[in-house]
Each structure stands twice: as C-alpha cells, then as structure tokens.
C-alpha cells in the first residue's frame, strides 16, 4: 500500500511540474520546452572539421548565442552525405546550396528554416572577347567549361540557359568540368565558353590576373535560388519556428559572423528570408530534362 501511494504521489508531482512548465507565465519562450540540449551542424559543401572551423567558426558561435544552445560541427564527406546523417539523427541543422537542399528535402524530408538571399547570384556564360559567338544558341557543337556536377550556379542553371535557348543537352554541346580553371581554359582557347556565378567571376578574374576586357558575357541568367538552412524533421514544430524567428530577428549578427571568413564574402549584402520551396522548381526542372529526376527521390 505504501508503495502504491508513493507511486501515486510521484505521478501527481510529475504532472504538476509538467503543467507548470507549459504555462505561458512561466515559460513564454517555448524553446525552453522543446529544444535539444545541443545541435549538430553541417555544411554541405565544406568537408573536414578544420575547414568548418575556418569558414563557419564565427557563425557557429553567433548562432549558439542567438539560440542559447551549444552547437557542434558535424563534417560530411560530400554534398549529399548530410541526407543520411539527418535521417539517422546524427545531424540536426544543415546549411545547403539550392541543389543540395532538393536532395535533403526529397531524401530526408528536411524542413527549410531560413535562406540567405544573395544580391548578385546569377549564372553567366562567357566567351573570349574576340569570339564570333554572340548568343547562347550559337554554342551548338561547342565545348563549354563548367564548375562541377550538381553545382547550382556552375552547372544546373547554365544547363537551363542552354536548354531554354533550344539546345539539346545530350547532343548539341560538350561539357567539361574544370572548377575555377575554366577561365584559364577559355583564355587559352581550349574551350569555347565558360559558365560561372556572376559574383564568383569577379573573384576568379582577380586571382588569375585577368581583365573583364578579355571576355564577353553572352547571357546572364535570373537571380538564383538561395542557400538555405534546414533542420531534421524530428524537431518539434514550435522549436523550428522559434529557431526561424530568432535567426530572422538576429540576421545582422549572423550574416556579419559569416563574413568573418574570406570564403563567405559572397553573402556580403545578403539578407535572411523565409523560404519558399517553389523557388527551387527551376532546379527540379533541369534534373528532369537531364533525365536525372530519380536523383531527387
């Protein structure tokens, strides 16, 4: 009997504590109720703990202060490795490029929280200044240097520009992936055109000691989808909304912390915005037209 009474009193105490925790007066911030004790943070295009610390160390500190939760780095081996890590519960929050976001959304049902809208994030296609090529349609039968497979600005968006110009991606031109060395190959005449992000173009010109006068831009694409922060779908909905509202309210601090690293200067002048999944449909469309729609399943 005494044992049953003890259990009953314990249950009453537990319920009473729970009721107290959930009252608006005691805890106006629901983060205190649903937040995990720590968050594990990954970046899809940064591999290795040392690189994460170099490029996102200041941001991790700032985000931890904004959320009031310790944050640990979780290095990934490649841009799509964050998907299984989210599914297995090894990582909680991921910063992803547009194409990586689609993979995380499709394979891990990741929840978009906020995105960083960049003010000068377009794909451009260039030729040599003395090239007879003046339009995208004239690239039929030509060789085009791009950045890397799956890159939003250096592969998928340029492919859309080519497709929109009436070219068949399977037969009408040849693609070579040269990363940032595409500009050197174009200068030497080893390729006929080069596709790159507009903001990245300026940085590469400076690093290679080349001038804009050496090249001619034949097309500039529309503003590209934003890089996005996503969280595991195992997170409580009120916690996700609190993270979103705190990041939005502290966006100046968070963006400034990103800009500490030279690799993140592309976010200069950017702003945090609420995500709209339909913004990424243009990338889904390219995957479909390339016959790779299954990649996003």
Q: Over range 261-280, report the average pLDDT.
A: 93
Place of tokens 């080349």: 210
pLDDT higher than threshold 60 for residue 17: no
pLDDT of res. 120: 86
Three-state DSSP at 125 gives strand
| DSSP single-letter state for residue 112 | E
pLDDT of res. 290: 85
Residue-wise pLDDT tens digits, 58-89: 999 999 999 999 999 999 998 889 999 999 99
For residue 174, the cross-strand partners are 143
Nearest to 277 by CA among 101, 153, 95, 137: 101
Grade residue 131 by pLDDT with cuts at 50, 70 and 90: very high
Please give the Cα distance from 227 to 221 (Å, whole number).
17
Three-state DSSP at 176 gives strand
pTM: 0.82
Please give the Cα distance from 98 to 153 (Å, whole number).
9
Beta strands in 129-251 (DSSP E): 143-146, 174-177, 193-197, 215-220, 227-231
Domains of the chain (ranges, CATH numbers): 39-119+225-290 (3.40.190.10), 122-223 (3.40.190.10)
Residue-wise pLDDT tens digits, 211-263: 999 999 999 999 999 999 999 999 999 999 999 999 999 999 999 999 999 99
The count of other CB atoms within 10 Å of the CB of residue 100 is: 28
């Amino acid at each position: 009997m005494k044992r049953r009474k003890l259990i009953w009193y314990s249950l009453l105490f537990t319920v009473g504590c729970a009721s107290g925790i959930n009252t608006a007066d005691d805890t106006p911030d629901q983060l205190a109720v649903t937040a995990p004790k720590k968050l594990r943070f990954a970046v899809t295009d940064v591999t290795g703990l040392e690189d994460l610390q170099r490029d996102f160390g200041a941001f991790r500190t700032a985000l931890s202060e904004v959320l009031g939760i310790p944050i640990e780095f979780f290095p990934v081996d490649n841009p799509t490795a964050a998907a299984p890590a989210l599914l297995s519960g090894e990582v909680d929050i991921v910063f992803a490029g547009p194409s990586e976001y689609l993979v995380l959304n499709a394979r891990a049902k990741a929840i978009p929280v906020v995105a960083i809208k960049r003010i000068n994030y377009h794909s451009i296609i260039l030729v040599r200044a003395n090239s007879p090529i003046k339009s995208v349609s004239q690239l039929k039968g030509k060789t085009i240097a791009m950045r890397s497979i799956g890159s939003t600005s250096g592969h998928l968006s340029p492919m859309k520009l080519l497709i929109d110009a009436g070219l068949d991606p399977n037969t009408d031109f040849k693609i070579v992936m040269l990363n940032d060395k595409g500009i050197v190959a174009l200068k030497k005449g080893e390729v006929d055109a080069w596709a790159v992000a507009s903001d990245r173009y300026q940085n590469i010109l400076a690093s290679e000691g080349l001038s804009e006068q050496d090249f001619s831009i034949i097309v500039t694409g529309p503003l590209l989808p934003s890089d996005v922060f996503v969280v595991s779908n195992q997170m409580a909905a009120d916690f996700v909304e609190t993270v979103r509202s705190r990041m939005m309210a502290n966006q100046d601090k968070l963006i400034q912390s990103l800009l500490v690293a030279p690799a993140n200067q592309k976010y200069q002048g950017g702003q945090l915005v609420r995500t709209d999944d339909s913004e990424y449909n243009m990338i889904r469309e390219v995957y479909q037209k390339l016959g790779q729609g299954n990649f996003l399943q």
